[in-house]
Structure 1
Amino acid sequence: MSEPARHSGLETHGRRGRAGRGGRTARAARRLGALAAACAVLLGAAPQAGAQGAPAAGARPGLVTEVSGEYPVVVTIDGVSPAVATPNGTVTITGQVTNGGRAPLKSPHAAVRAPLNHKPLNTRSDLTAVATRNDPAGVDGVDLPSPQAALNELGPGQSQPFTLQVAVADLELDREGAYELAVDVRGSTGDNQRERPLGIARTFLPYNPTPADAQPTQVATLWPITHTPELVAQTLSDNDQSVPVLRDDSLAAEFAPGGRLYELVDIGAGLTAPTWVVDPDLLDTAYAMTKPYRVQKPNTAGQSAKDENTTQGTGTAAAAAWLDKLRTAVAKKGSEVVSLPYADPDIASIAHNGADLNGIDTALLKAGTAGQVTAEGRLSVDVRGDVAWPYQGYLDQQIAATAQRGGDNLLLVNGASLPEADSLKYTPGAVRPLGNGQTGVVADSTVSGLFQSDLNTPQAQSEAVQRFLAETFVITRQEPHNPRGLLVMPPRGLTVNTARTLASALQSANAGQWTTPVTLDAVAQAAADPRANGAVPPATDYPGEARASELSAKALTETMAIQSKLDLLMRILTLPQRVRGPFSAAMVRSVSTEWRTQGPAGDTYRDGVRDYLGELSQAVRVPKKGVITFAGDTGVLQVSVRNDLTQAVTNLKLVLTSSQPNRLKVGDPADIVLGASRSVTMQFPAEAHNNGQATMTAQLWTTGPDPQRYGDPVTFNVMVTSVTDGVLYVIGAGLLLILLAALRIYRQRKKQGADADADGDRPLDGAEDGAGPDDAAGPQAGPEDADEGPDDDRDAVQTLRGTTADGRDRATGDEKVGP
């Protein structure tokens, strides 16, 4: 929304005469010049801004100082103390003066300007107008004769600090309000001897002599405790214990005193009623680090964790101390803890690029539940787990729908997504009904925007504090008897400098009694303003800059594809829990919002999860085979299966298929139960009908309901030989037996004729011995345990054992399954 840019009038009545730097004539001329400049500004296009004071495009919502040829001096205000003026008090202003021009400065001096007509800035549009002005202007007020700071002559690029202490009474502040406080530098330059304004810096000074006249604004402040994911899917076994593995050891420094996460907890513990917004994955990581852990070496993201590609972690003591410190801080009376879904999945990217992916809604629901359970377990406090925080709070209809499917009913929203109507002349409360049972808590875009970057200089810190005080003061005074809720939303990656600055601003506003700290829940439960904007915008209104950093549809699709591969691996493991938990968590970490600012690292993490799962899946495999020679009409084909996992596998069968069953026919599939780090050679009965080459395919399948192919098929060729020779051997052997039998009968009869007195019922010689041709018998197919050593995957020519009709082995070599 926008509100009229209301300025104080140009009247000069009521001003006392002051001694200037020159005579009365010069003083009058300067004042006339200032008034003329003010008229020129006011008669031009006055800046317009919304009730939330959104800055102009490309402008930072702080104070701006630029160098021009006419105004070569850069003036910065590095501190205002106290931040809020008090009656009969003094204000000390510190800063820097830098010659940004090409000529030396002559007789420069800094002075404080009294606010124009001693009037406060009545609207948030007025604040924006001051913050976005650059060059000195009459509307900045008039220099006070005292205090002034004489400066050295400064050459180009040279700087000098200044300190000015001004009595509040000399500023002649008209009444309570937020005032402009300006410091300018006057003097001349080497190329222009005329004394003139050379540069100016502006800030704000709240003045609240009668705080009881207004109901304070309720301010809820998010205090994010997040970090990019560190735990990976790999673990290392040590005496049957799983040792966690991290992608790097950066958290060791962050958990230690002076580290970002340590300082955030320390600063947040000093706030009143903070709303801690915690990523449960970070809590799990910290807990894992309290015991011995390992860290991946560079460029080993997709490899199985081993001693040689990991190093010992160094943050065990720091992680344990940090967790204890955080537990104490969040247990403080008046605090609230909000649990993000586990690993903080990027719901904006999912809504725009992966909403239709199979299983994504289930994954979000599980992440929400796991997040709340984990946070409550690690912190031992009650946790709110139905809150969605899309990236930077930007919201559209697709994001709202995705959050709802994930079980989130409360949305943290950037005010830029729900701008107010121009007709609304005040800042409404933060709570908004969004429809479909969802509620939005809208962060003021200008106030929150003050703390988006790393405020690492005194100037940036002072600007943010004084602007925050001015904005919140004006909000309170807009509707002094209608207290409203205000949400302050810093970024997830809140820096230590910015955190300290935000804490200072909050404490100063609370001390000034125009704000009071409350939790997110208190703001969310307030009555919604019916005039406030609650219309969720379409996806086309989503900011282009935020969309550019989203996870791509390809990245989301590949991540969700991991689930189906993981499910397949789970079907064959005897200890699936050792793999399911780490991989399920790693999948959610792969789509974390934290990767928005670390895109390449996110790509590496996702690739590592995918590659590691591929390595585990391929650890159970059929080794490649070379050409096999099959000599004979019957025999066995031997195929090895290898398990390089550290646990046994089951629910598998090996299917051997011939491309030409009319040439070579093989037996039924064989089921497999295979121990850890073992191989087995499966034997398939085979029957040859024709000579020549047959292509065989060995494929692992899962057993049970809905069998699935497991792994890639392995094809190899079998050269069938000597089928015709074998048939001739059988025929020849049969004829020979017939001839021998006939000869025997002939001899027996001849003998009987020669011995007519012999017993005719006596059995034939040798009949009691069962003399006669033996039945041919082939080898039995069945599993055969191989050595525990590694597979020999080298190509080999293998000749398998065949049998002939006379029962003799036609020996050939057996397949090699080990060295």
Structure 2
Amino acid sequence: MGEARHGLTAYGRVGRAARRLAAVLAGGTVLLSAAPYATAAAPARTGFPAASPDYPATVQIDSLSAPVAGDNATVTVTGRVTNAGSSTVKAAHVVLRSPKEELDTRSAINLVAGRTGPTGKDGTVLAGHKADLGDLAPGQSRAYTLQVSTADLGLRTAGVYELAVDVRDADEDRPLGIARTFLPFNTAPSGKQTRIATLWPITHAPELVAQTMPDNDQMPVLRDDSLATELAPGGRLGKLVSIGQTLPNLTWVVDPDLLDTVYAMTKPYRVQKPGTAGESAKDENTVAGTGQNVAAAWLAQLRTAVAANGSQVVALPYADPDLASIAHNGNGLAGMDTALRKASTAGKVTAEGRLSVDVSGNVAWPFLGRLDQATAGVARTAGEDLVLVNGSSMPESRSLSYTPNAVRPIGNGQTAVVADPVLSSLFSGDLDSDQAQSLAQQRFLAETMTITQQRPDDQRSLLVMPSRTLTVGTAEALADALHAAAQPNGWVAPTRLDAVATAAADPEANGSVPGDYPGELRGSELSSAALGSVMGVQTGLDQLLQILTQPQRVRGPFNAAMVRSMSTQWRDHAEASAAYRNGVRSYLDNLTAAVKVPAKSSITLPGDNAILLVSVKNDLNQAVGNLELRVTSAQVNRLNVGQPATVVLDGTTSRTFRFPAEAQVNGPVQMTAQLWTTGPNAQPYGQAVSFTVEVTSVASGVMYVIGGGVVLMALAGVRFSLQRKKRSAAGEVDLDPERLLEPEDAEAGADAAAAADSTAETAPGTAEEAVGAAGAEGVGEPSDSTPESASDARDRATGDEKVGH
């Protein structure tokens, strides 16, 4: 296996070098001009300075046939020259310079990388080593090839040297432009190899959404199908696995959410149509995914790669939550600590399940590796005791003359593994040209060789941290650099993160975590409002889960979607981040609103005792329970309703509930229908529905009218009986019916009859309306209804709104 691996490695290096040389000889397009490297205190610069009036030509070095030169070796240098000036360069030609001295410190390398225009420090022109380009008109570009032996360069002692190429015109009195690179000269093993662990990130922005298709298999749904392109053999993730599997002792850093997504894609899946992010997934608003075959092939290849060559797999917390954003804008939000701990646990379990290998968990990787005390605290809360840190956050003292081990104890039971800032910055961008890749590779070789020579008898352990979104070009350059430095007789020994993390900590190394966070990174953080919105989903989700009979169909997808909403992958993608969060929130709102009381308009309620009908609708695909329907009156002294009704509904059904209603007064009464959850912490569920009940006929009023007449007649009878007894006692007996009443008795009877007639004349025209009017007066409340005719009442009763609708 070892021989096969080295054979594949050599093939990859030679093949790429051949392609670069062929492109140069064919006259490929100039992509970038020469540029200085970064200083040790700042990330390496990837841009290149423009030509100036003094130096109108730009020179680039695209490749070295021997990235590391040995005794009696011949080095072929290829590149391009472009006339960026306004006048023609006559008889242009490029020349090589022999290096002036060995660069035996990292600061010396840094000084060379920081130069701009040509200087005498770049060495002397090497006679007999030039390539003619002919006249170069403004904007014209031509390729060049130069060959030189290490003997001609004057290399005798193992070490790092500057290699410079400049362009001149026919006068040859001065250079018109220059390009620099570094050439390590290695003759024999010297000292102990430097152990270097390299992070190999396998990450992607979240794609799975909270929706699933409404079937028994819960078919997954993705926000788009871009991942299928990346998983293909020529895609970014496809190439990362192919390149990574050639590297020994690689540390694969995987986002378990990506593994879950790819696994979901190995089976039939759906993709949302644009503009449907918050909708329930259906056939009409999704399309079939296209990545089933490439997903299966990629996952199989990844499983093979991580199980070979002494690899280590590090699982990030599930969906890679943005620890720095949470520390600065979301720490203390209800439920956040629990969510982080669950994400950390789920990350390790998921990665082990999907890859079938042992996985290292409890590792925190803040955005760009930038750490402050607040971010370290959040990582500790999540249970992550190993923190990957960019050395820019924890710079070494200038008085330290060597590069210390990467491991540092930082207190509170946490350990930081600090990546070398210069080595990491070389691979932080997208090295999308041969020139950029070659420059990064040669700088890496120069830096690591110098680190090894600083203390040849003291083995050091370093960490290289490339970009979290590692690109193909950058991955190729990093792999080539590692292969070249670790070749036979090389000075680098590739190792795993766990070996670096358990090495002895250097007491001279900086172990102080800064209190401040870089201000330039604050603008890309997830805001307090965004994080608050994410955690607010939990409240609504808890209430929805309480009424579901199959809560597991919703709980898992939403919990995962909430963590995905806080992913580090959303950095610098604010629009996509907001769209994903809004989609989760809208979808939850739609599910919640699917169980509801339909809107009601005004209804008519005839009689003092009737049935009020209220419907509840369930548009979900599963049954719901743990609900009750409460109907309440704004004026219970006028219209009162019965007890709440227990609500249990099958999926996609509706049901009408009957509420006994008792009316006391005619006229309109405002009513409210509201669903409530049941249990000790009962809460309103969904939106309340308000409607008006028009009471038209209350029967109790007639009894007051009739009762009043009976009382008057009884009083008249009593008076008649008393008068009659009085006359009998005086001996006046008159049996004539027409004389039974004396004149004053007759007057009293007439008064009573008149009173009864008067009452009848002032009452409403129907018996039901009379009951209503008398009832209103009987309870001591003024009636707020206007008497209506029987035809009006009939017309209203036959309108659009019927009782119970």
Equivalent residue for 1:530?
A: 507
Equivalent residue for 1:570?
A: 545
CA contact (8 A) 1:632 1:726 kept: no
The change in CA–CA distance for 1:817 and 1:299 in structure 2 (over 3 A counts) is farther
- Distance between the aligned counterparts of 1:151 and 1:459, measured in 2? 19
The alpha-carbon deviation at position 813 of structure 1 amounts to 8.3
The alpha-carbon deviation at position 449 of structure 1 amounts to 0.4
**Identical positions, percent:** 60
- Distance between the aligned counterparts of 2:554 and 2:405, measured in 1? 48
Is the counterpart of residue 649 in structure 1 residue 624 in structure 2?
yes
Q: CA deviation digits over 1:701-724, x for unaligned, max 9?
A: 10112111111111111222333x
Q: Secondary structure at the match of 1:416?
A: coil
CA contact (8 A) 1:63 1:131 kept: no
| 1:204 alignment partner, one of 165, 182, 189 | 182
Equivalent residue for 1:9?
A: none
Is the counterpart of residue 514 in structure 1 residue 491 in structure 2?
yes
The alpha-carbon deviation at position 689 of structure 1 amounts to 1.5
CA contact (8 A) 1:63 1:203 kept: no
Amino acid paired to 1:152: G
Matching of residues 37-116 of structure 1 within 5 Å:
53-55=40-42, 60-61=44-45, 64-116=48-100
CA contact (8 A) 2:604 2:803 kept: no
Matching of residues 409-424 of structure 1 within 5 Å:
409-424=385-400
The alpha-carbon deviation at position 129 of structure 1 amounts to 1.0
The alpha-carbon deviation at position 373 of structure 1 amounts to 0.6
CA contact (8 A) 2:328 2:374 kept: yes
**CA RMSD of the aligned region, Å?**
2.3
| 1:473 alignment partner, one of 414, 429, 449 | 449
Equivalent residue for 2:118?
A: 136
Q: CA deviation digits over 1:712-763, x for unaligned, max 9?
A: 111111222333x542068659999xx9xxxxxxxxxxxxxxxxxxxxxxxx
Where structure 1 has 5 or more consecutive residues not aligned to the other structure, the ranges are 1-46, 740-809
The alpha-carbon deviation at position 64 of structure 1 amounts to 4.8
- Distance between the aligned counterparts of 2:443 and 2:581, measured in 1? 41
CA contact (8 A) 1:681 1:817 kept: no
The alpha-carbon deviation at position 627 of structure 1 amounts to 1.1
Q: Secondary structure at the match of 2:173?
A: strand
CA contact (8 A) 1:49 1:125 kept: no
CA contact (8 A) 1:54 1:61 kept: no
CA contact (8 A) 2:612 2:804 kept: no
The alpha-carbon deviation at position 658 of structure 1 amounts to 1.1
Q: CA deviation digits over 1:268-300, x for unaligned, max 9?
A: 000010000000111111111111100000010
Matching of residues 115-514 of structure 1 within 5 Å:
115-116=99-100, 119-187=101-169, 195-211=173-189, 213-238=190-215, 240-511=216-487, 512-514=489-491
Q: CA deviation digits over 1:397-420, x for unaligned, max 9?
A: 000000000010000001000011
CA contact (8 A) 2:364 2:386 kept: yes
Equivalent residue for 1:702?
A: 677
Amino acid paired to 1:79: S
- Distance between the aligned counterparts of 1:619 and 1:160, measured in 2? 68
The alpha-carbon deviation at position 328 of structure 1 amounts to 0.3
The alpha-carbon deviation at position 63 of structure 1 amounts to 8.6
Q: CA deviation digits over 1:301-321, x for unaligned, max 9?
A: 000101010001111111111
Amino acid paired to 1:175: T
- Distance between the aligned counterparts of 2:84 and 2:112, measured in 1? 22
Amino acid paired to 1:727: G
- Distance between the aligned counterparts of 1:815 and 1:645, measured in 2? 27
Equivalent residue for 1:748?
A: none
Is the counterpart of residue 587 in structure 1 residue 565 in structure 2?
no
The alpha-carbon deviation at position 61 of structure 1 amounts to 3.9
The alpha-carbon deviation at position 210 of structure 1 amounts to 2.5
The alpha-carbon deviation at position 812 of structure 1 amounts to 7.7
CA contact (8 A) 1:432 1:439 kept: yes
- Distance between the aligned counterparts of 2:73 and 2:81, measured in 1? 26
Is the counterpart of residue 727 in structure 1 residue 690 in structure 2?
no
- Distance between the aligned counterparts of 2:579 and 2:603, measured in 1? 42
- Distance between the aligned counterparts of 2:674 and 2:180, measured in 1? 76
The change in CA–CA distance for 1:507 and 1:818 in structure 2 (over 3 A counts) is farther
Q: CA deviation digits over 1:199-250, x for unaligned, max 9?
A: 1100000012122x21111000000001011111111134x22111111111
- Distance between the aligned counterparts of 1:273 and 1:81, measured in 2? 26
Deviates more, 1:697-706 or 1:267-276: 697-706
Q: Secondary structure at the match of 1:465?
A: helix
Matching of residues 632-781 of structure 1 within 5 Å:
632-723=607-698, 726-728=700-702, 732=706
Q: CA deviation digits over 1:449-508, x for unaligned, max 9?
A: 011111111110110000000010111111111111111111111011110110000000
Q: Secondary structure at the match of 2:693?
A: strand
Amino acid paired to 2:702: L
Q: Secondary structure at the match of 1:196?
A: coil
Q: Secondary structure at the match of 2:456?
A: coil
CA contact (8 A) 1:65 1:201 kept: no
- Distance between the aligned counterparts of 1:580 and 1:368, measured in 2? 18
Amino acid paired to 2:74: T
Is the counterpart of residue 624 in structure 1 residue 602 in structure 2?
no
Q: Secondary structure at the match of 1:483?
A: coil
The alpha-carbon deviation at position 597 of structure 1 amounts to 3.1
Q: Secondary structure at the match of 1:606?
A: helix
The change in CA–CA distance for 1:428 and 1:156 in structure 2 (over 3 A counts) is same
- Distance between the aligned counterparts of 2:291 and 2:605, measured in 1? 61
- Distance between the aligned counterparts of 1:818 and 1:312, measured in 2? 44
CA contact (8 A) 1:638 1:815 kept: no
CA contact (8 A) 1:410 1:438 kept: yes
The alpha-carbon deviation at position 680 of structure 1 amounts to 1.1
The change in CA–CA distance for 1:329 and 1:652 in structure 2 (over 3 A counts) is same
The alpha-carbon deviation at position 350 of structure 1 amounts to 0.5
Amino acid paired to 1:101: G
The alpha-carbon deviation at position 256 of structure 1 amounts to 1.3
Q: CA deviation digits over 1:361-402, x for unaligned, max 9?
A: 100000111111110001000001110000010000000000
- Distance between the aligned counterparts of 2:521 and 2:626, measured in 1? 47
CA contact (8 A) 1:49 1:124 kept: no
Q: Secondary structure at the match of 1:179?
A: strand
Q: Secondary structure at the match of 2:486?
A: helix
The alpha-carbon deviation at position 251 of structure 1 amounts to 1.3
Deviates more, 1:160-169 or 1:146-155: 146-155
Deviates more, 1:594-603 or 1:469-478: 594-603
CA contact (8 A) 1:80 1:91 kept: yes
Q: Secondary structure at the match of 1:93?
A: strand
CA contact (8 A) 1:416 1:445 kept: yes
CA contact (8 A) 2:672 2:691 kept: yes
Q: CA deviation digits over 1:547-605, x for unaligned, max 9?
A: 11111110100010001100000000001000101111111111111111322111111
